[in-house]
């Protein structure tokens, strides 16, 4: 059985661009990463987030001020939001990205999941 513990959750804005990906954290000014592949960009974003968090005072209220907030209902076709789970030690190697899909009829879920899969999969023919 997996050991569970406290996690902080941060909203990440993921954008597929003409040259790769851009990930930013709307609640954290100037915390962003750019990369060619989605996996590379996620890795960089974890490092950026860990660096930012390591410079905060080690008080719960200071950290929670940057955690989960509103996620927009509508976004452009090349943008999606995710949640990044962070352990209290801010170790980027323990961070995980969680994709969110609203509770809707199964056909809608399949459509949204297919769109999400298309955004994180390299596709040179994507018209942006």
pLDDT per residue, tens digit, the chain (128 aa), is 445 678 999 999 999 999 999 999 999 989 999 999 999 999 999 999 999 999 988 788 888 888 887 777 777 888 888 999 999 999 999 999 998 777 788 888 888 888 888 888 875 544 44
How is the chain split among helix, strand and coil, in percent rounded to 5?
30, 25, 45
pTM beyond 0.75? yes
Question: Are 9 and 27 in contact, with CB atoms under 8 Å apart?
Answer: no
Domain ranges across the chain: 8-120
pLDDT at 3: 55
Q: What is the CATH number of domain 8-120?
A: 3.30.160.250
């Amino acid at each position: 059985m997996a050991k569970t513990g406290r996690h902080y959750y941060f909203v990440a804005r993921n954008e597929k661009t003409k040259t790769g990906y851009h990930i930013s954290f709307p609640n954290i000014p100037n915390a962003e990463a750019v990369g060619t592949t989605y996996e590379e960009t996620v890795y960089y974003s974890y490092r950026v987030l860990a660096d930012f968090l390591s410079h905060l005072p080690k008080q719960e209220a200071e950290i929670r001020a940057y955690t989960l907030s509103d996620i927009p209902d509508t976004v452009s076709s090349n943008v999606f939001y995710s949640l990044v789970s962070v352990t209290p030690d801010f170790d980027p190697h323990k961070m995980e990205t969680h994709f969110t899909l609203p509770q809707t009829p199964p056909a809608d879920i399949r459509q949204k999941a297919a769109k999400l899969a298309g955004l994180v999969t390299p596709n040179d023919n994507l018209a942006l």
